[in-house]
Structure formats: structure tokens, C-alpha cells
Amino acid sequence: MQSKTKRKPGARWPNVPRPPRGTYRNGIDLTQIRQMLALTPAERLEVLQSASASLAELCASAKKL
Amino acid sequence: MGGVCGGLHGARIPTYDLDVVHSRRPENLSRLTAALAELQAVYRLQHNRQLSPPLSALAAPGHNLLTTICGDFDILGTIGESLSYEDLLPRTEMMDLGEGLLVRVLDLPTLIEVKKQAGRPRDLDHVRNLKEVLRERERLGSS
């Protein structure tokens, strides 16, 4: 399937920040882990619920296309 | 246990269901049955038939993959190498989710072990993530 949006070869999508260097280990984003570890379990649950809700919304939107 | 457990330990694992290993003692089964009725739980893979889990299934060591009005809910009699609630109890910790809600979750090393045993590609993906959480926690603990 081809994308309808034309991009110059090698161009980056706008508003997608390049991940900071040195925050990945074995392909895992340590920044996210450190952010999560700074939260309480209740706050971590909120992050999970919010992420799941966003993904569900995204899937529902994709199905409508 | 599962993705929510990993998340409570600090991993960013996308998950859409809640996995629970339950005590199969009679007094807990009656509480569980009442809770599942309130959640209108039915088997997920036979959703059209609207089958509620019978007590006999909840008392057995198998897996009950349910869907409820609050989302998917997997109730597992045993996991891994036939580990029951009682087997896993010493390898759990309590987490405070606020408003007086304390939940018992697998400790992180055990969750990693269980995910390794499950062995599916996505489980092994989670293992890599969880191992890094463990490493970070040890680093923070030792600093």
C-alpha cells in the first residue's frame, strides 16, 4: 500500500523529535522506564490506562477509514 | 500478572486486558463468581453465545478468557509450569493503587520468569523490557 502523502526521500515527519542519544539499551527506551519508575504505582496505572485508551481510539479511527 | 503487572512495576507495555491468577479456594470462588456476574463476564472466544464461566471452570487449573463490561479479563487457574495462586503467593508483593486499594502482583523477577516460560514472541519482547526495568531499579537502589 502506498502512502498518499508525498515526502522527500530522507525527510522526517514533522513534530517527531529525534530520540535523545544514549537513552536506549538493548533497543529499550530507558527514558520511559525512568519516567515510570519516578511515579507511584497508582500513577503508573493511570499512564497505562491512558495509553490503552489512546491506542483503542486510534484503532477505532483507523477502522473508519 | 501480565502487562498491567509489568506496567505497575514500571514497564511501558501496551496491554488491553487484565490477567489474574486466582485463589481456587471455595470461599474465594463464591466471591469471584459474584464479581464476575456484576461485570457481566462471558467467554471472549464464544462471545456470541454469551457463556458465563461456570463455577467448575473457575475451580479448575485452566484459563478463562473473558470479556466484561469493563474490558477483557483473563482468569487463570495456573500459569507457567502449573503454578497456582498458592505457589505464587510467596513471590508476590502488595502495591498501593490509592483510595485504599491494595493489589497483590507478581514480583518482577517472577514476572520475567513466567513471561520467559510463556515463550511467545510478544512475551519475549516484554522480557527484554522487564529486564531493563529490573536493571534500572537495581541501579537506582544502589545509587
Q: How many CB atoms lie within 10 A of CB B50?
A: 9
Searching chain B, which residue's CA lies closest to the CA of residue A26? Answer: B128
Which one of A25, A34, A45 has the shortest CB-CB distance to B7? Answer: A45
C-alpha dihedral, B84 to B85 to B86 to B90, nearest 10°: 110
pLDDT of residue A19: 53
Distance CA B62, CA B56 (A): 10
Q: Which of B114, B127, B109, B108 minimizes the C-alpha distance to B10?
A: B108
> Measured between beta carbons, which residues in chain B are less than 8 angstroms from residue A53?
none
Band (A2; pLDDT cuts 50, 70, 90): very low
Contact assignment for B129 to A28 by CB distance below 8 Å: yes
B76-80, B95-99, B108-112, B139-143: segment of lowest average pLDDT: B139-143
Q: What is the pLDDT of residues B29-56, one digit of tens each?
A: 999 999 999 999 999 988 788 899 999 9
- B138 in contact with A at a CB cutoff of 8 Å? no
Searching chain A, which residue's CA lies closest to the CA of residue B133? Answer: A33
pLDDT of residue A11: 56
Q: B29-34: long-range contacts (C-beta < 8 A, 24 or more apart)?
A: B29/B55, B29/B58, B29/B59, B32/B58, B32/B75, B33/B58
Q: Which distant-in-sequence residues (6+ apart) come within 8 Å of B59 by Cβ?
A: B24, B29, B77
Band (A26; pLDDT cuts 50, 70, 90): confident
- Contacts across the A-B interface (CB distance below 8 Å): 62
Compute the C-alpha angle B16/A59/B129, nearest 5°: 45
Cell of A61: 479511527
Band (A65; pLDDT cuts 50, 70, 90): confident
Q: What percent of chain A has pLDDT over 90?
A: 22
DSSP string of B24-57? -SHHHHHHHHHHHHHTT-EESTTGGGTPPPPHHH
CA distance B56 to chain A (A): 32
Contact assignment for B14 to A37 by CB distance below 8 Å: no
User: Judging by beta carbons within 10 Å of its beta carbon (0-12, 13-18, 19+), is residue B137 exposed, middle or buried?
Assistant: middle
Which one of B16, B128, B140 has the shortest CB-CB distance to A37? Answer: B140
C-alpha dihedral, B26 to B32 to B35 to B40, nearest 10°: -110
> Does position A8 have pLDDT exceeding 70, yes or no?
no
Up-side HSE of residue B38: CA atoms within 13 Å toward CB? 6
Cell of A15: 513534530
pLDDT of residue A25: 85
For the complex shown, is ipTM > 0.95?
no
